Amino acid sequence: MPKFVDPTPPGQCLFCRLVAGEIPAARVYEDARTLAFMDIGQVNPGHVLVAVKRHGAMIYDITPEDAGAAMQTAQRVALAVREAFDPPGLTILQCNGVEGDQTVFHFHIHVVPRHGDDGVGLSWPRKEPPMAQIEGYAERIRAALAGA
C-alpha cells in the first residue's frame, strides 16, 4: 500500500472550510484535534461525524495522537447521543479513503444511533432532512455534552 499523498487542492477541502467556519454546520463538539458535527446525510436521526482536523485518509495516515483524539471524541459524542436519543443501539464506523468513495481526506468516524429497525448501511439515496431538523438533533447532543 503506497503512502498517503494528499490530492486536495489548497483551499478546496470541504472539511477544512467547515473547520474554519466558512461552511455552516451543526457542530456538537470541537477540540484542538477534532470536530464533531451532524452529517447532512442523516443515516439515522442523531448521526454525528467525528473528523480529525488534519489531513490523512486512513487510520494509518494519521498520528497516534490524532487517532486517540478521534476515538475519545467519538466516545464522548456516543455518550451524549445515548443521553439525547436513548437509541437501543449505536454503531461506530469508518469508511475513509479512495476505497470508501471519499473525496475529503480527513480521517473521520461515523457515530450512528440505531432506532428500531434502522440499519446502518451508508446507502443512497441518503436521508437529508432539513437543516433546522439537523440543528435540532445537534442541540440535543450539545445539551447532553454540556451536562456531562
**Site residues for Zn ion per CB under 5 A:** 13, 15-16
* Angle, alpha carbons 61-63-67 (nearest 5°): 95
User: Nearest-CB residue to Zn ion?
Assistant: 13
Residue closer to Zn ion (CB basis): 54 or 114 = 54
Supply the minimum distance, in Å, between the C-beta of residue 17 and Zn ion. Answer: 8
Q: 36 pairs with which residues across the strands? A: 29, 50
All residues at 6 or more sequence positions from 76 whose CB lies less than 8 Å from its CB, including other chains:
29, 36, 145, 148
Supply the minimum distance, in Å, between the C-beta of residue 112 and Zn ion. Answer: 22
Residue closer to Zn ion (CB basis): 14 or 131 = 14
Supply the minimum distance, in Å, between the C-beta of residue 1 and Zn ion. Answer: 21
For 6, 54, 103, 106, 111, the CA distances from 13, given in Å and listed in that order, are 11, 11, 9, 9, 22
Supply the minimum distance, in Å, between the C-beta of residue 31 and Zn ion. Answer: 17
All residues at 6 or more sequence positions from 77 whose CB lies less than 8 Å from its CB, including other chains:
28, 29, 36, 48, 50, 111, 141, 145
Residue closer to Zn ion (CB basis): 15 or 85 = 15
Residue closer to Zn ion (CB basis): 7 or 119 = 7
